[in-house]
Structure 1
Amino acid sequence: MINKLLSALALLRHREVRKEYRYFIRDTYFCRLVQGKYLLKDYVFRKAYKVVSFNGEFGAELQFVIPFAYWHYRNGTLKKSISSQFTKELYFFSQNHEEKFIERVNRGDPNEGNYNFEMPRILHSHNYDMNKWLAVPFKETYQNNVFVFEKPILIVANRYSMEWGGPPVSFFDKPILSFIFHKLAQEYTIIYNRPLTQHITKDHNEVVELNERRWIQEEHPEVILLEDLYEEKKSYANNFNHLQLLVYANADHFISIHGGTSVLASYFGGTNLILSKSGAEHYFGCFQTLYPKLSGATILHAKSEEEVRHYVEEYFVKNPSEKPVIGNQPHL
């Protein structure tokens, strides 16, 4: 009954929103409704009571859940946080963090995965004037003197997974990777990151093999694979997520892919070029509204490989007339 009423409200107030996206607004209303029962605890009594628990997608956790937990921490009301394995460092501010879940889910049941309506919001929506949300200072917390190189770091964060029940849509293939490496290897220390399955918590989006790692090692030895850096510097990182935070915190230049990959890269200031060919983020303008809130980063949204090339030339290449050719072109 409540869902029907909220759906009617969303229709009345947002007729301009396409039907297939209107449920995002309905769910946002429901999240706000749930928060009403915590009004006195959050703003009057302000004792540590809140247990923030989430087992949904990594992107949603970064966008909405961790900033919610951080708000409660700063508000003095965070009692405990619960999430998936390899997340302790993401909740560094939590005095009591439990790594409970071994798999991320995306079910339609209330309080499960991306439908955990105990958060003030949990998915994309029509506005991002958010209460109980604070950007988490990952960069300030994890900057270090260990992962420092002669040239500034450029993170190329790739993803190759099933999307929306079908094959991968947004990803960097070998031709576009070769373009990026050739253009930028002289000016940057390029670190390539596509986490292996053993390094992350599995979700419903199956990871597919891109077979690019050996190609990078053979054709572009100037590029550092993040998993190789992890093996080399394991004593400095508790897990792969921790390593990502340490390396990303020392970087100001990112080229990333739609999803949690791009959200994480948006947490560290500087410039983040995102390749995203499809998704609700386009419709709701998330790359122009939500993503910059994470750290004040400059977000460049490319909808095609051609736009990636354009943004690389305009925002990342510093001395185009002095570029030598580095490495070999991919064998296609």
Structure 2
Amino acid sequence: MLNKLLSFIVLVKYGRLPIDIRYFYRDTYYCQLVQLKYILRDYIFKRKYKDIDFQGEFAPELQFVLPFAYWHYKNGTLKKTEGCTYTKEMYFFSPAHSEPYDIRTEEGNYNYEMPRILYSQNYDMKKWLPVPFKQYYQNSIYKYDKPILIIANRYNMEWGGQPISFFSIEILSYILEKVKGSYTVIYNRPRPHHITMDNSDIYDLNEHKWLEESYPEVILMENLFKENKGSANNFNHLQLMVYANADKFISIHGGTATLASYFGGINLILSKKGPEHHFNCYHKLYPKLSGAKIIHAKTDDEVKNYVDEIFAKEIAA
């Protein structure tokens, strides 16, 4: 009944929008209403009671779940957290973190116990604090003579079809020719065995061997994991350690871009389509994660232009 009422309100206010977009408006209202039942425990009694449990995809966990958990930690009300494998280091602040899930599910995204899920028309959020990954994971191990530039790629199934937003070998070559002389470039595209899988299949771009042969100066994240000089517990842990020492990122939308937005500096994101465009996530949400400057490219040509205008300009300066 409540969902029907909220759907009607959204229809009246936003009836011109596509129905698949209106669902996110309704879900935001629903999440806000759910939080009302915790007013006394969150703001008056403030005892440790909150059990945050999430099995959804990587991006919404970074965007909404982790900041929600961190808010409860700082508020003194976080009791424990539960998530997927390889997430313990992300919840370093949790009094007790367990990993009962070995797969991420789309259904797990719709956890209405969070103040927000997926996309939202309103990012002026309460009960949300960015997690200080950079401060916590900065280290003296992954430091180099030149400043680090992370190229964080992905090549996955998107919306049940072929990959849409990714850095092709042609684009990678263009970027590297522009930046290789002035940056220590670290390339990161996790293989399936490095991460907790979700509903999106990972395909092979065959770029790792090409990079080793054509650009041997580029450091592959997977090779850093093989060496594991920082004694990382898992690939996510390694990413946090390496990213914490960087402030220049070129990334792809989704969890790849979200993680890269947690470490300040500049993050150039390629996103060719998605609800993020309608909700203007890259300018309203992503900068909140660390104060990073977010640049959204919608095409391969825009990526090239931004690399020329921003990264090449910084090199010249």
- TM bin, normalised by shorter chain, reads over 0.9
Equivalence for 2:239: 244
* Moved >6 Å (runs of 4+): 319-322
The residue type paired with residue 157 of structure 1 is A
Aligned-partner SS, 2:249: strand
Q: From 117, 133, 138, give the equivalent of 1:138.
A: 133
Matches within 5 A, 1:156-175: 156-175=151-170
**In the superposition, relative to structure 1, how do residues 234 and 147 fare at CA in structure 2: closer, same or farther (>3 Å)?**
closer
Q: After superposition, give the CA deviation of every residue in 1:217-244 in whole Å (9 maximum; x if it has no partner).
A: 0011010100101111255211110100
> Counterpart of 2:305 in structure 1: which amino acid?
H
Change in Cα spacing, 1:320 to 1:80, as seen in structure 2 (3 Å) is closer
The one-letter code of the counterpart of 1:85 is T
Deviation per residue, 1:25-78 (Å, 9 max, x gap)? 101111111111111111110000000000000000000000000000000000
Tell whether 2:60 aligns with 1:60: yes
User: 1:229 aligned to 2:224?
Assistant: yes
Structure 1 position 126 matched with structure 2 position 125: no
Code of the residue aligned with 2:220 in structure 1: it is L
Distance 1:234 1:101, change over 3 A: farther
Note the C-alpha offset of 1:321: 7.7
- Equivalent residue, structure 2, for 1:14: 14
Separation in structure 2 between the aligned mates of residue 73 and residue 300 of structure 1, nearest angstrom: 31
Q: Deviations over 1:260-302 (max 9, x none)?
A: 0000000000000000000000011000100000000000000
- Please give the secondary structure, in 1, of the residue aligned with 2:140: coil
> What's the Cα RMSD here?
1.3
Corresponding residue for 1:311? 306
* TM-score (structure 1 length as normaliser): 0.93
Distance 1:320 1:202, change over 3 A: closer
Match of 2:40 in 1: 40
Q: Name the residue aligned to 2:201.
A: 206
Confirm or deny: 8 A CA contact 2:141 2:229 kept in the other structure. no
Report the CA distance between 1:16 and its aligned residue. Answer: 4.9
**Do the aligned partners of residues 53 and 307 (structure 1) sit closer, same or farther apart at CA in structure 2, a change above 3 Å counting?**
same
> C-alpha separation between the residues in 2 aligned to 1:79 and 1:319?
45
Amino acid of the residue matched to residue 25 of structure 2?
A: I
CA contact (8 A) 2:185 2:218 kept: yes
Q: Please tell me whether the aligned partners of residues 53 and 81 of structure 2 are also in contact (alpha carbons under 8 angstroms).
A: yes
TM-score (norm 2): 0.98
Residue segments in structure 2 that go unaligned for 5+ positions in a row: none
Cα distance between partner residues in 2 of 1:219 and 1:281:
34
Supply the distance in 2 between the matched residues of 1:33 and 1:17 (Cα, whole angstroms): 23
Determine the structure 1 residue equivalent to 2:28.
28
The share of aligned pairs that are identical, in percent, is 60
C-alpha spacing 1:249/1:235, structure 2 compared with 1 (3 Å): closer
Instruction: Identify the residue that residue 86 of structure 1 maps to in structure 2.
Output: 86
1:187–1:134 Cα change, 3 Å: same
Gap change, CA 1:95 and 1:321, over 3 Å in 2: closer
Q: 1:257 to 1:319 in 2, by over 3 A?
A: closer
Which ranges in structure 1 are unaligned for 5 or more consecutive residues? 108-112, 323-332
CA deviations over 1:279-330 (Å, ceiling 9, x no partner): 00001100010000000000000000100001001111147789xxxxxxxx
Cα deviation, residue 99, structure 1:
1.1
SS of the aligned residue for 2:103 comes to coil
Contact 2:141 2:230 in 1 (8 A): no
CA deviation profile, 1:145-201 (whole Å, cap 9, x unmatched) = 110000000000000000101111100000000011111000000000000111100
Amino acid at match of 1:95: P
User: 2:52 is matched by which residue type in structure 1?
Assistant: V
Q: How many residues align?
A: 317
Describe the shift of the 1:44–1:188 C-alpha distance in structure 2 as closer, same or farther (beyond 3 A): same
Q: Which residue of 2 aligns with 1:327?
A: none
Q: Offset at 1:18?
A: 3.3
Distance 1:234 1:3 in 2: 51
- Give distance in 2, aligned partners of 1:20 and 1:77: 35
